[in-house]
Amino acid sequence: MNRRPTLDQWIRNKINGSKPFGLRELAAYQLNMINQTLEHACRNSLHYRTRIGNRQLSSLTQMNELPFTIPGDLQADPYSMLCVHPNEIARIVTLNTSGSTGPSKRVFFTEEDLELCRDFFHYGMQCLVSEADTVGILFPHETPASVGDQLIKGLARFGCAAVPLYSLSLEDIVLKIEKHRITSLAGMPGQVSLLAEKFPQCSSVKTVLLSADFVSDKVRETIAKAWGSEVFEHYGMTEMGLGCGVSCEHQQGYHVREADLYLEIIDPISGQPLPDGEWGEIVFTSLTRVGMPFIRYRTGDISRWKNEQCPCGSTLRLLDYIKDRNVIKRLPLRYEG
């Protein structure tokens, strides 16, 4: 099935509507939004006002002059990073730190911030499904604005049905797939791979979206061999607003929501920016977040900007599949700006 590059049109509409759209226009938009974010964050957040002060950029090349934000900042004092009154917060996500007894990270979302996520899911999911599909949701959905709940709402916007499957046994999931004629699944790699291995008869599942963990070649092969499904990947983290990028049918990497996020690839030891094509750590700056914007946040995830364009025809740069996660925890030297 040939699918049009949905995210291109979405990003173009967010940036300049019907005007010409290319990397130059995208870069100009991102610089403008970074400066707006700097102004908003430094005016309203004690953390950024102390770290950055009153600063505006004249070029994206000046990004490396700004200090990094690290997960420890979020653990130490999340309220100092807040840019709105606490009464304006619609949801707080608490992230426990794996293998640590230290404080948890707390990420704050206004209703406007949550809408950005639903909007991305609305368009991003059209890379793999249409209104004719029924998607089984294996992510938590009971809590309002949880990943599963946001995904269900995003799918509904283009008429795609969704069936919650979270917390069901594998056997009950299979029964639901058969009952609702589910054609697509969205879940974590390990769970979907195990389901495919144990129940290869679920051949109605034509597409699969894997997220929230590293996707190995073995997982891809297991799912494709069992069901003949196209395997898509989503990359994101809670700090990014739950979503960052999604692969298309050509499976060459992630198409990134570049109207909402500005990504850099840096050397994880020196902290210096790397050119396209070189592997390094992903650092992101949020462009449209209101409640808790992030400026040069170190993810610990290793990837690269690919030099070639995607065969789907997208004008956006391709972010390669994640090669390693949380590499920052294993570094002999941590560069913190």
Instruction: Give the relative orientation of helices 23-44 and 6-15 as an angle to the nearest 10 degrees.
Output: 60
204 CB-near residues (< 8 Å, 6+ apart): 177, 178, 181, 182, 183
pLDDT of amino acid 323: 85
Decide: 159 and 189 in contact? Cβ < 8 Å.
no
pLDDT score of 334 more than 60 = no
Decide: 105 and 81 in contact? Cβ < 8 Å.
no
2 CB-near residues (< 8 Å, 6+ apart): 249
- Tell me the sheet residues that pair with 135: 162, 184
Range in 13-22, 166-175, 217-226, 298-307 the model is least confident about: 13-22
Q: How many CB atoms lie within 10 A of CB 99?
A: 8
What average pLDDT does the chain have? 91
Read off the pLDDT of residues 310-320 as tens digits, 9 standing for 90 and up.
999 888 889 99
pLDDT category of residue 292 using cuts at 50, 70 and 90: very high
pLDDT of amino acid 293: 98
pLDDT score of 336 more than 60 = no
Portion of the chain with pLDDT greater than 70, in percent: 93
pLDDT, average across residues 317-333: 71
CATH 3.30.70.2740 fits 6-330, yes or no: no
CA separation for the pair 155, 123 (Å, rounded):
9
pLDDT, average across residues 285-294: 98
pLDDT of amino acid 315: 85
Beta strand 318-319 with 254-256: parallel, antiparallel or unpaired?
antiparallel
pLDDT category of residue 337 using cuts at 50, 70 and 90: very low
Amino acid at 21: F
pLDDT of amino acid 3: 60
pLDDT, average across residues 290-301: 96
**DSSP, res 305:** B
Question: Under DSSP, is residue 44 helix (H, G, I), strand (E, B) or coil?
Answer: helix
